[in-house]
Amino acid sequence: MRIASRTTGVLAAGRMLPLERVLAAGLLSALVVGCGSKPVPEPQPPNVPAAGEATVPPAEVKPEPPPQPVYELDADKHKVPAAPVSGRLGGSEFTPGVSVEGDHLVFQVARPGSPVADRSVRLRLGNGPQGLQNRKLVVRSDSPPGPDLPEVMLQTPKRPEILLFGNGYALTLELGSRTGGKLPGRVYLSLPDEDKSFFAGTFEADFPRQPTEPPGPDDVPFVNGTVTVRNAPAAAVLIAGYASTPTPTTVAFGSAEIGLGEPVVPPRWVQSVYDKPRVTNLVGGDGKDVPSRYEHSKLTPGRYLIFATLKNGPAAWKWLDVPENGTVRADLTIDVAQTGGLEIGVPLEAVGKVQLAPADEPGRPATDPNLFIAICWQLGLEQPIVARKALYKNLTPGRYEVRTAGRSAVVEVVAGKTVEFDFDKKAPPPKPEVAPEPKPRP
């Protein structure tokens, strides 16, 4: 291949110019010289390749690919790639989502079809959520443990327990400022576990508004309120949550839990974001005089069951409608000393378990089957069938719907007694109302 180039004279790039151009150029030169002037340079032919020739475009300069993260326990050799966080965790590829939960920076991959984490790393940075902003950290593998080093918690399917690292790992971390509910950052982490877990890259962590901050327009619709707990046992754990069907084919449910007790100043709180974009905040009370406070924000408008329950204990709830761009307040009370029981006689064809859920208001459409199951799971209201019966204890008084073997019924639980209900027995007819006898006149 030949490359065309500029050439003076009558030949250009090995190609003969037309005769008339040659004659015209010679005549012009003679006239100019005869006048005693300096010769005028001949116009240069265009730089056009000859027939059959082709120009060679300049070679493309391809950007160098970002460095791929590798397992590196020397923090001085960390080079954070300008790419989303990735690596290997527990021996498998790891491309996590990133979020802020309290004073934890969480990198996790959920189980398929479930909000529960399958593999995760949590960095406890301390100093509350504000300690996660505008921060730079470099932790070397030989750094001694202490309050200045983040705690690192590793969870993988290979182990039932969570591995906790107080030191021995190598970390490079940079965090920016929260903007629009996001926290930008860069990370490189290598752990001293048997699988040599590591990941590196850039991220924008979900960083919702904290419970100590007032709600804004991005948080509506939301439901909030207090949970008063009376006669709670020592070390009681409170769970606050919700369940709904935001679309005809999906079920949304979320919750957060916190231990009741002292101190209440400064406030103790937790935040749950696994049911994105919905967020649950829960501020713990003392289980006596100071109620707990909850908030479920960024909800989808619709019908919701809002509840609070003690772990392995009774629950309180309300069914309510959440309007678009609106807010609803619902205060709940749990009294452990005021509970009842329910003994259900099941149909002959029933096997397995009986499911129970707080009944919606009379006249409302039947609760969606998938939503009903989600409520049973959240409140722990499934009981096995033993000798054609299912027994429930520690139920808050109120109306419940029971379902088994494709059949359904609504029963009323009262405090201080165990109500018996049998699907194969008809309820006795209500007693006729008898008008009171007239009182004799004095």
CB burial of residue 398 (10 Å; 0-12, 13-18, 19+): middle
Residue 29 has pLDDT above 80, yes or no: no
Tell me the mean pLDDT in the region 325-350.
94
Contacts of 315 by beta carbon, 8 Å cutoff, 6+ apart? 307, 308, 309, 334, 358, 379, 396
Higher pLDDT, 140 or 426: 140
Q: Looking at residue 65, what is its pLDDT?
A: 65
Chain segment 222-273, per-residue pLDDT in tens? 999 999 999 998 889 999 999 999 888 899 999 999 999 888 888 888 888 8
Q: What is the pLDDT of residues 198-223, one digit of tens each?
A: 999 999 998 888 777 788 888 899 99
Mean pLDDT of 343-369: 94
Residue 32 confidence (pLDDT) above 50: no
For residues 394 and 384, what is the distance between their CA atoms, to the nearest angstrom?
16
Domain ranges of the chain: 1-47, 75-206, 217-335, 340-422
pLDDT of 379 strictly over 50: yes
CATH class of 340-422: mainly beta
Average pLDDT over residues 285-300: 93
Partners of 387 in beta bridges: none
Pairwise pLDDT comparison (7 vs 84), residue with the higher score = 84
d(CA 363, CA 369) in angstroms, rounded, equals 17
How confident is the model over 88-127, as pLDDT tens digits? 998 999 999 999 887 889 999 987 766 677 899 999 987 6
Examine the pLDDT at 84 and tell me if it is beyond 70: yes
pLDDT beyond 70 at 26: no
Return the minimum-mean-pLDDT range out of 174-183, 292-301, 369-378, 402-411: 174-183
Taking 90 as the threshold, does the pLDDT of residue 287 lie above it? Answer: no
Contact yes or no for 378/400 (Cβ under 8 A): no
- State the pLDDT at residue 249: 87
Q: What's the average model confidence in pLDDT over 325-339?
A: 95
Q: What is the mean pLDDT of the segment spanning 327-354?
A: 94
Distance between CA atoms of residues 188 and 405, nearest Å: 54
- How far apart CA 47 and CA 75 sit, in angstroms, is 56
The two structure tokens encoding residue 434: 């008898």
pLDDT band at 181 (very low <50, low <70, confident <90, very high): confident
Looking at residue 316, its pLDDT comes to 97
Count, residues in the chain: 442
Is CATH 2.60.40 what the domain over 217-335 is classified as, yes or no? yes
Sort strands 340-345 and 418-422 into parallel, antiparallel or unpaired.
parallel
- Which tokens hold the place of 29? 């030169």
169/434: higher pLDDT: 169
- Quick one: average pLDDT of 340-354? 93
Reported as a pLDDT band with limits 50, 70 and 90, residue 52 is: low
What pTM did the predictor assign? Answer: 0.66
> What's the pLDDT band for 43 if we cut at 50, 70, 90?
low
Could you tell me which residue, 393 or 68, shows the higher pLDDT? 393
Choose among 411, 379, 107: nearest CA to 241. Answer: 379
pLDDT over 60 (residue 36)? no
Please list, residue by residue across 212-224, b when 16 or more beta carbons sit within 10 angstroms of its beta carbon and e when fewer do.
eeeeeeebbbbbb
With 80 as the cut, is the pLDDT of residue 422 above it?
Answer: yes
Q: Do 217-335 and 340-422 agree at the fold level?
A: yes
Instruction: State the Rg of the chain over Cα.
Output: 37
Q: What pLDDT band is residue 19 in, cutting at 50, 70 and 90?
A: very low
What is the distance between the alpha carbons of residues 312 and 322, in angstroms, rounded to a whole number? 28
Q: What is the mean pLDDT of the chain?
A: 84
